[in-house]
Structure 1
Amino acid sequence: MLAAGIHGFILAFGLILPLGVQNVFVFNQGSIHKQYRRVLPVILTASISDTLLITLAVLGISVILLQIAWLTALLLTAGILFLIYMGYLTWRSKPSEVTAKQEAFSAKKQITFAASVSLLNPHAIMDTIGVIGTSSLTYSGPAKITFALACILTSWMWFFALAFVGHQVGRLRKSNGFLDILNKISAAIMWGTAIYLALTF
Structure 2
Amino acid sequence: MIEAIIHGVILAFGLILPLGVQNVFVFNQGAIQPTFLRAVPVVITAAVCDTLLILLAVLGVSLFILTFAWLKTVLFGIGFFFLVYMGWVIWRSEPLKVNEAEATSFSPKKQILFAASVSLFNPHAILDTIGVIGTNSLGYSGEEKWVFTLATIIVSWIWFMGLALAGRSLGKLDSGGGLMKRINRFSALVIWGVAVYMLTKI
Matching residue of 1:136? 137
The alpha-carbon deviation at position 199 of structure 1 amounts to 1.9
Which amino acid in structure 1 is aligned with residue 164 of structure 2?
A
Distance 1:100 1:131 in 2: 42
Amino acid at match of 1:154: V
User: How far does residue 102 in structure 1 lie from its aligned partner after superposition?
Assistant: 3.1
Aligned to 1:94: 94
**Match for 2:159: what amino acid?**
W
Asked if the contact 1:34/1:171 (under 8 Å) is kept, the reply is no
Does the Cα contact within 8 Å between 1:82 and 1:116 map onto a contact in 2? yes
The Cα RMSD (Å) is 1.5
**SS of 1:55's equivalent?**
helix
**1:39-188 equivalences in 2 (<5 Å):** 39-95=39-95, 97=97, 101-188=102-189
Per the normalisation by structure 2, the TM-score is 0.94
- Give, as a single letter, the amino acid of the residue that structure 1 aligns with 2:130: I
Shift of 1:100: 7.5
Give the 3 Å change call, closer, same or farther, for CA 129–96 of structure 1 in structure 2. Answer: closer
Q: Which moved more, 1:186-195 or 1:170-179?
A: 170-179
Task: Verify the 8 A CA contact 1:47 1:159 in the aligned structure 2.
Answer: yes
**Separation (CA, whole Å) in 2 of partners of 1:66 and 1:84:** 24
Q: Please report how far the alpha carbon of residue 104 of structure 1 lies from its aligned counterpart in structure 2 after TM superposition.
A: 3.4
Match runs of 1:7-22 below 5 Å: 7-22=7-22
- Whether contact under 8 Å (2:33, 2:39) holds in the other structure is yes
Counterpart residue identity of residue 137, structure 2:
S
- Tell me which moved more, 113-122 or 146-155: 113-122
TM-score normalized by structure 1?
0.95
Structure 1 unaligned regions, length at least 5: none
C-alpha distance after superposition, 1:88-116 (max 9, x if no partner): 11111112548784333111111111111
Question: Contact 1:32–1:100 (CA<8 Å) still a contact in 2?
Answer: no
Aligned structure 1 segments of 4 or more residues deviating by more than 6 angstroms: none
How far apart are the structure 1 equivalents of 2:75 and 2:201?
Answer: 13
The change in CA–CA distance for 1:115 and 1:193 in structure 2 (over 3 A counts) is same
Aligned equivalent of 1:27: 27
